[in-house]
Structure formats: C-alpha cells, structure tokens
Chains A and B, each alone.
Chain A
C-alpha cells in the first residue's frame, strides 16, 4: 500500500526499488548513492524514500543521482541538483535554515525548559518540609488541651 496505492494508478508495470541494472560497478560510489537516496523522498509516494520506492519517477531520480555521482559531483552537489529540479519536498531532512530552525531547535529548547521546570519542582519539594515547630496559635491550643 505504502508504495502502491497511488502509484499503481499512474504506472502500468511497477518495478521494485533499486533494480540490479541500476547498481553502479564501483561499490564505494554505489554505497554513497544508497545513503543519499535513503534521505530523498519519492515525489509521488507516501512517505517513501526513492531507495525503497518502486515508482517510475523514483527510478529516474535514482538513475539521475548515480549519473551525477559518476560525473564527479560531491554528495551535496548531487542532492542540490535534484532539489533544484524537484523542490525541497524531496528532502526527508529539512535544511537547517530559516524557519526550519524552529523545527530543529524545538526539541533541545523544550528539553532545557522542561529540565528547568523539573529541577525547580524537585528543588521546591526538597526545600519544603513539614513545619517542625508549632505556630503560636497551635501552641496556645495545645496548652489549652493539655490543661495547663
């Protein structure tokens, strides 16, 4: 379903993820291609990387990515090449710039806040103690009861 629901309607013969004929001869280069393509989203699928996807467009992206790598692009250049053509939608990891910083920093920031609140709570509980001496009223009442 993940790979198929939508896509099937668009494509006649689905082909499974990375095909044997796509694999590069140079294992190091192929490894790089695999790692990059795991982080790139198939543009027409639901939450699938082009590495897993069997959509035709994913195959195109995989092949194009490998072409760029063979042509000597760095990882960043190859990814940028694809982003320029397909938009930042294909990046599973949103670039750490602009408004996206909110996304990236929200976790650490909230952790700091929560840790601060937690620390405050614990400190308050550590500082609180049951009053050991009686207040004047209580002392008076006690005296009264004791009949002194």
Chain B
C-alpha cells in the first residue's frame, strides 16, 4: 500500500513540476505577479511529494518487501540495515529517484532562501528548475520505474553488489548527486538571467553560493569514491581515469572554473557571457555524466544500466537542455555588456587564466573519455584511452595552475603589479625549490615526479599562507594576528581551499613516485622486510560474516624491531551475489600507510601476500577535505548569507572588499 502511495506521489510530483514550469515562466514573461508567485508553493509541494515517494521506497527496502522488483534485485534479508537503506540508491531506478529528490530539494531551497531575489528572476529560476525535473520524472516513470511489483514475490532477494556494501561507497552517490544536481541550480540561474536579459553583480552573488555548494558536494563525493577505491579494490589505486570517474571530474573542473569566474561577475561585472556559458556547460557535463553512467556506452565498472532505451532518453534530455540553452545563449549573449575595466596584470586576468586552464583541462578529460567511442564509430578502430594518456595530457594543466595560483591569488584587482605581488612570495618560491631539490637528492634513481610534487605543494600551500598573512595589513605581529580572526570568512575559505589543493597535488605526486611494493609467498610465521618496515604473517583463518565468508589473516607490522600494529586483511566471498572482495589491512600513518593484502593459498603451501608502502596516501583525501572545508567556510560568509538589497547594489569599488 505504502509502495502504491509512493508511486502515486511520484506521479503527482511530476504534475506539480509541470505546473511549476509553465505558470511561473508565463507569469514572468507577462509580468503577472500572481502567476509568478505560484513557483514557491509548487517547489515546496513538489519536494514534499517526491520526498514521500523516496521514503516509501526506502521503507520497502528496510522491511525487505520482495514483492517489489527493485528490492528483490538489490537487497537481501540478511543484509545489515545500513546497507538496506543505502541499497535504495545502489541501483539505477533508486538512484534516479534520489536524483529527482535532489532536484526538488534544490528547487525548494531556492524558494526558501531566495526571498531577496527579484520576483521575476525567482519565478524563472524555479520554472527552469522544474523543467529539468519534468524531464527526469518522465525518464523515471517511462523507462525506470522503481515501484514495479513482482507477480510472484520470491522468498529472498539477490543481494546488493558486495562492493557497494561499504560505508565509503554507501555515501559516495548521494554526495555526487548533490553536486551534479546542484549545478542544475546554476544552470537555472543562467537560463533565468538569459530570459531576463540581465546579468549584473547581484546575479553573480546569488549564483555563487549554489556553485560553491555544488562544488563542495562534488569534492566530497569524488573524494569518498577515490578513498573507497583505495582501501577496497585491493591494490591501493585511488584514481583510474575510468569513464565514470571522469564523468564526475569534468563537472568538478567546470564548477571550479565557474565559481572563480562568478567572482569576477560579482566584483567587476566582467566575463558575464563566459560565466553564463560555463554554467550551461557545467550542468551539461553533469547530464553527460549521467548519460555515460546510465547508457553503458562506455563499458565501465559503474554502468549498472546497460540499456540503450534509457541511454537514448538521457541523450535526448541532454541534447534538449544543452542545445536549447546554447541557442538561447547565442541569441542573448551579446546583450551581456562587460562593465569593469582591468589591466593586463590584475586579479581578473589571473582568474581568466584560471578559467582557461580549468576549462581546457576539462576538455582534455572529455575528449580522452569519448575518443574510444568516436574511434570505434567513425574510424572503425577499437582502442583504449587510459591512465598513461591522461597522466601525460592532463597533468600539465594542474602544474600550470599550481604555478600561477599563488601569484594570481595575491594580485590586486583592476590594476596589479607583478613585482608587488611577487615580493612576499619570493621566500616561498625559494623554500619550494630547495625542498624539491632536497627531495630529489634524497631519492635515488626515481622519476622527477616526486620532487616536482614537493615543490608545487610547498609553493601552493606557502602561497596560500602568505596570501592570508598579506591580508592582515602592515602593523606589528600582534596587531596582524588580531586581524587574522576578523578577516572575512571568504578569505579563510579561499586560503584553506587553495592550501588543500596544494596538499592534494603534492600527495598524488608523492604517492605515485615513491610507492613501494612487495609480492611474495608467505607461510604463517614468516617475517620480511619492506622499506623501513617488517611484516610478519601471524595467522590465517576462516571467519563468517552476516552475509559473507572470509579468509582472514593476522599480520603484525614492525618498525625498528618494535611492533607498531596488527592488521587483518581479508578476502571475502558473498555467496548470494557469488562475488569475492578484498578487504586490505591498512595501517594508517601520517607519512605512509602500510597496506597489506592476503591472496590465494599456494599449491606449495603458504599464501600470496602483497605489501605496499603508500607514502602520503592520506594527504590526498586530507587535501580534498580541506578543499571542501574551505568551500563551506566561504559559503558561510556573511556577504553571501545576507544579500538583501543586493539587487540595487552598485558594483563593488575596486580594491574595496578583499577578494574571495
């Protein structure tokens, strides 16, 4: 019964979304206030309805209602409760329901927190947002209905893919969706602005929190996915340039570009057309990502829906929205007149460079991801594009980005002086180069990747700290320390996020350059040396979990003859899903992880055992967390929370408010 109510609520939500599209958009066009005002209650109602629908599906998973086809296919009565709940979005239909729930949530938020938006802009934003929802409701109801019943309910389900039964991956999709769908909000703002024919500083200020929020969610989502891959897949890889990873990485890159160019719109009323275009492209890439994942056009790990019908449908949604938006853009963009004047050496120019690098790097990921499809369809060549290509073609962009970041972040708005900006940075540059050289001297016969990573990391992190210190004025140290606490949160957010990026760049390079590995057959009681650590295989035994069987090992790790920890790598088999997984035994450390994997028993006795030393592994996610925290702090800045009256606000005077 609840299931049917959920199904019904979903259909109602779709109808509400249709009304929410038509009425406010017509109202805004005709200037009818009462029609425009309908957008707000409709957004709230739509959210409540789709929220109920999602709750109904969750309930079916929790009580293991196997009369529901989706529950039967993706759940099992023995599964822990947490994974029954996360199983709701561990499949195509449920995840699409989560997608529309998020769409409705963002629409409702725009209504709840958008009281300071001009009525016509708000009506148009809500209308466009609902139009996106309509497309996805149609997609769900016509091709991917989660509420289909089974004729004869089976006794038990087929279980969720065991790899998804993991805390890291359980929460990876919701964050990604919040990010993907958050970009729909910037898209709605962009289309609404094109319809209004007006982009000004206030628009830049309104659109930025949404972009920032979407970017923070994408950062967390991607970080979780990468962390999961690291500890779960059994050899400590953290990024594979898999098409589906790329699908989330492209919007991340464009969102990063967008949130920087929106600053220029807000502060200087320039780059308007470009910012609108970026907002369209960023959401376009989110849709493209959905298409890549759902259609299975690029065979990939994550493609749980290899269904051409669905692929075509999403391709139509993608073509409709991106094509329509670009047409509108072409017709209206010329009306976006740039106002701010700035010189060649200025913060604005640095942000243009940032946008060039981020956008082109996203394009490189794009072409690399789709090249195999193109090659096969057009050239008739079956080929692969993998990590070696991306490492070679993509990394230079982040090297360049890291090089210009500290300088650009410190340059003055409007008219800057390179000499002035570089003066406080010289010590950082010297430190970065010397530490890089030191790293080069200490490592013997390894690639230059590690030292370059050290130098770049020190340069970016040191640059961020210098930036912060520069903001505190020129008085004595105590006065400056006092001013630190009173800096706008946006400044802190900027510094923390930039430092986070420096740390991640460094950690990725360090891990790739300095990893150590040992593969051997070990018998119980064997002890061996890997780097500065010794590892001993203490015991291997069988253990039974709630819904799996495990071969588990006890392994001790010694350093300098002293035991520093015991870890328990496992090899699990999930009988229902007929699938084995590895659970690596990881001893986390600040400077390095010791990563142990137990393999198969050998014919001659003993076990295949792998030992990996992963230097600075946790710094990769530490940096990602810092980036997300920086975004959140910036999001909490007073300026963005209290934007009342911003509509009438004049463009900020040059050099006035310190820049984000």
Contact = CB atoms under 8 A, between A and B. Distances in A.
Contact of B240 (A16, A47, A93, A100): A47
B353 A4 contact: no
A122 interface: yes
B367 A107 contact: yes
B519 to A, nearest CB: 6
B338 A4 contact: no
Interface in A1-52: 1-5, 8, 13-21, 23, 38-39, 41, 46-47, 49, 52
B608 A41 contact: no
B580 A4 contact: yes
Interface in A50-101: 52, 87-94, 99-100
B426 interface: no
A115 interface: yes
B389 A122 contact: no
A14 B360 contact: no
Contacts of B385: 92-94, 103
B163 interface: yes
* Interface SS of chain B: mixed
A99 B375 contact: yes
A47 B356 contact: no
Given A2-B233, A104-B393, A92 B387 contact: yes
A8 B384 contact: no
B299 interface: yes
A1 B270 contact: no
Nearest to B598: A16
A84 to B, nearest CB: 15
Contacts of A130: 341
A118 B240 contact: no
A47 B301 CA distance: 8
B367 A103 contact: yes
Interface in B204-234: 233-234
A91 B348 contact: no
A87 B387 CA distance: 18
A114 interface: yes
Contacts of A2: 233, 240, 301
B519 A115 contact: no
A122 B237 contact: no
A16 B599 contact: yes
B602 A20 contact: yes
A19 B606 CA distance: 13
B608 A122 contact: no
A127 B599 CA distance: 66
Contact of A125 (B341, B364, B383, B394): B341
A39 B388 contact: yes
A142 interface: no
B340 interface: yes
Contact of B386 (A20, A49, A121): A49
B600 A107 contact: no
A106 interface: yes
A15 B600 contact: yes
B352 A121 contact: yes
B235 interface: yes
Contacts of A146: none
Contacts of B379: 99
Contact of A46 (B235, B237, B300): B300
Nearest to B579: A4
Contacts, number: 150
Given A16-B599, A39-B388, A104-B393, A125 B270 contact: yes
A145 B597 CA distance: 86
B600 A94 contact: no
B388 A93 contact: yes
A128 B349 contact: no
A24 to B, nearest CB: 12
A61 to B, nearest CB: 14
Contact of A47 (B243, B381, B578): B243
Contacts of B364: 106-107, 110
Nearest to B606: A20
Nearest to B302: A1
Contacts of B237: 52
A120 to B, nearest CB: 10
Nearest to B357: A111
A82 to B, nearest CB: 13
A87 B382 contact: yes
A134 interface: no
A20 B519 contact: yes
Given A20-B520, A107-B393, A122-B348, A47 B242 contact: yes
Given A1-B301, A92-B389, A103-B385, A110 B363 contact: yes
Contacts of B161: 1
A39 B364 CA distance: 19
B389 A125 contact: no
A46 B355 CA distance: 33
A106 B361 CA distance: 11
Contact of B352 (A20, A49, A94, A122): A122
Contacts of B349: 122
Contact of B356 (A38, A87, A94, A111): A111
Contacts of B355: 118
A20 B242 CA distance: 28
Interface string B176-210: 00000000000000000000000000000000000
A103 B392 CA distance: 12
A16 B383 contact: no
B381 A52 contact: no
Contact of A106 (B235, B242, B271, B363): B363
Given A46-B300, A90-B384, A103-B371, A111 B360 contact: yes
B103 interface: no
Nearest to B521: A20
Interface string B262-305: 00000000110010000000000000000000000001110000
Most buried by B among A46, A52, A88, A117: A46
A60 B270 CA distance: 59
A126 B519 contact: no
24 contacts: A1-B579, A2-B233, A8-B578, A8-B580, A14-B580, A16-B610, A19-B608, A21-B602, A38-B387, A39-B387, A47-B243, A52-B235, A94-B371, A94-B375, A94-B383, A107-B363, A107-B394, A107-B397, A121-B274, A121-B352, A122-B342, A122-B349, A126-B342, A129-B341
| CB-based closest 8 A-B pairs | A92-B386, A93-B388, A107-B364, A16-B599, A1-B163, A114-B356, A20-B521, A118-B356
Given A20-B519, A89-B382, 19 more contacts: A1-B579, A2-B233, A4-B579, A16-B597, A41-B384, A46-B242, A46-B299, A87-B382, A91-B384, A92-B385, A92-B386, A92-B387, A104-B389, A107-B364, A107-B367, A121-B271, A121-B274, A125-B270, A126-B344
